Amino acid sequence: MTRSGRVVLALGGGGARGYAHIGVIQVLEEQGYEVVGIAGTSMGALVGGLHAAGCLDGYTEWVGNLSQRDVLRLLDPALRTPGMIRGERVMGRVADLLDGARIEDLPIPFTAVATDLLAHREVWFQRGPVEVAVRASIALPSFFTPVMLNGRLLADGGMCNPVPMTPLGGLPADLRIAVTLSGEETDPPDAGPTQESAEDRPLSEWYERLRHTASQVLELEAGRRVSRWFAARRGEDPAAAAGSVPELPEMVSPYDDLPDDLGVLRVMELSIDSLQRVVARYQMAGYPPDLQISVPKNSCRTLDFHRAAEMIALGRSVATDALARLAPPPAPGPTSEPG
């Protein structure tokens, strides 16, 4: 069914699941809706900013052709900075598409939300270069390095406003839609046993190995420094000091075994997701949307940026289902001639 009306969109964050925002926007336009305002956090800011600037199609074509190997080349590791990825290669491509676009000149009002880590408050970008606003908003802690801008240490807006309805409050619209990327989990389709190649392994596993190796190096060096410090204080040989620590008696653990696939990245994903779900419920209770479209949180992992086509299709599916549940607009009533 084709509808029409003015729509404002609050696009949430969730890593690679944010590709689903593209499918949502496609369906809205196909059904005759006009997007008249966008506020986005993290990946929602990236997709929303590109759409507001009129260059989302070019981005969609680019990411739709990325293989896992292509994504690995784009992710620039940053072991000595406060984040695993600098993001310069990805943002370079985004900047090319935006071509210097500024928020105040966009045909669609746009707000990107970031978090000021020092002031502990959210920051709204409603002026300035779109690429700068997007880069600040996507700086998910531990994944992408934060940025310093005008004395502010800025990171992912999802920590304060995961699905930013509040910036849309003053825009006139017929329908206010929130798109969340942390919806209830669904059962994945049974694809049967597959032979996984090195190229097909999830990006999170690749970064988990990278982070694990770096952690081992740092822990080894830290241990050596601590051992040398204590030995110097006691005037002992470091090797002898290290061997003088008494062994602790073996204890029976009261805890169950951790899941085999639970790595550092997965713990961070679960922790951030839990935080954002609580904050999103609080924020949207004060500014409730007319329609909430939810993408299951287990539809893909945060760093699975090679799955664009799959996530865009999922976005189209959940948007179509959600819009179908909307009550149809009331039919015009009969008119009577004045007697």
Query: Judging by DSSP bridges, how do beta strands 121-125 and 110-116 pair with one another?
Result: antiparallel
**328 DSSP 8-state letter:** P
Contact indicator for 97, 133 with CB cutoff of 8 Å: no
Residue type, 224: R
Q: Give yes or no: 99 in active site.
A: no
Of 137, 81, 140, 139, nearest to 265 by C-alpha is 140
Residue carrying the six token digits 């491509």? 93
Query: What is the sign of the dihedral through the CA atoms of 281, 283, 287 and 290?
Result: negative
**Annotated active-site residue in 42, 182, 204, 299:** 42
CB within 8 A of 286, min separation 6: which ones? Answer: 166
Alpha-carbon span 305 to 17, nearest angstrom: 8
Contact indicator for 155, 140 with CB cutoff of 8 Å: yes
Q: Which residues pair with 180 in a beta bridge?
A: 294
Query: What is the sign of the dihedral through the CA atoms of 178, 184, 190 and 195?
Result: positive
Q: Give yes or no: 156 in active site.
A: yes
The Cα-based distances of 206 to 125, 142, 144, 310 in angstroms read 33, 15, 16, 21
**Annotated active-site residue in 116, 156, 182, 299:** 156
The token pair at 190 is: 């049974």
Residues noted as catalytic: 42, 156
